[in-house]
Amino acid sequence: MTETTPRMPLLGDPFPHLKVMTTHGPLTLPDDMKGSWFVLFSHPADFTPVCTTEFHAFQTLYPEFKKLNVKLIGLSVDQVFSHIKWTEWIKEHLGTEIEFPIIAANDAIAQQLGMLHPGKGSNTVRAVFVVDDKGIVRLILYYPQEIGRNMQEILRAVQALQVSDKYGVATPADWPHNALIGDRVIVPPATTVAEAEQRLQNPEFECYDWWFCHKPNPAA
């Protein structure tokens, strides 16, 4: 890596400053999203079957994302006119109007976000960046071109992150449908002997042991 090669963002990093062209006009990230969370997701190419199903699925769930103060942004290295024509096709043939912007990225932007994987060809892989309302990267996912994403999982992850932030808790596997504790949330580990002893006496908690305590979901 040279000094002029930007490092792709990692969890906890500020999202890189990008000026991009989209189907909704110019956009500056993350500045134009200030005060909102956003999910930036890339797709390999317009007018491809898997990507079409993904855009339909994202748009179907867009009202649920909006309830969480989350905006959606698509991205590929196709040009804006291709994005526009593709979304027209989706509306005409699938009855779904894509409401969120789609970025026309160049290779430099795709490379900066780690979306170009030489072993998977020249198109962008299916990347997902969840960025919070302070412009900080909170979750990153990569899928190969041949595997469509699960948008319900992306929505669930955003919900879990927001609950964790607001209440200072963790969420278990498959939350809110965990096999052990359902929609309850996990209390952060004790940091002192006294706190560990008090855990088992706290009527708010249920515990398997002092290091594994949980309580009702405060967001429910």
> What does the alpha-carbon distance between residue 161 and residue 166 come to, in Å, rounded to a whole number?
9
Helix (H, G, I), strand (E, B) or coil at 44: coil
Sign of the Cα torsion 101, 105, 110, 112 reads: negative
- The residues pairing with 72 across neighbouring beta strands, listed in sequence order, are 39
CA distances (Å), origin 40, targets 73, 106, 136, 169, 190: 5, 15, 13, 25, 35
10 Å Cβ neighbour count for 40?
23
Helix (H, G, I), strand (E, B) or coil at 159: helix
Cβ(189)–Cβ(168) below 8 Å: no
Residues ≥6 apart with Cβ < 8 Å to 152: 61
197 phi, psi to nearest 5 deg: -70, -35
**Length in residues, the chain:** 220
Residues tagged active-site: 51
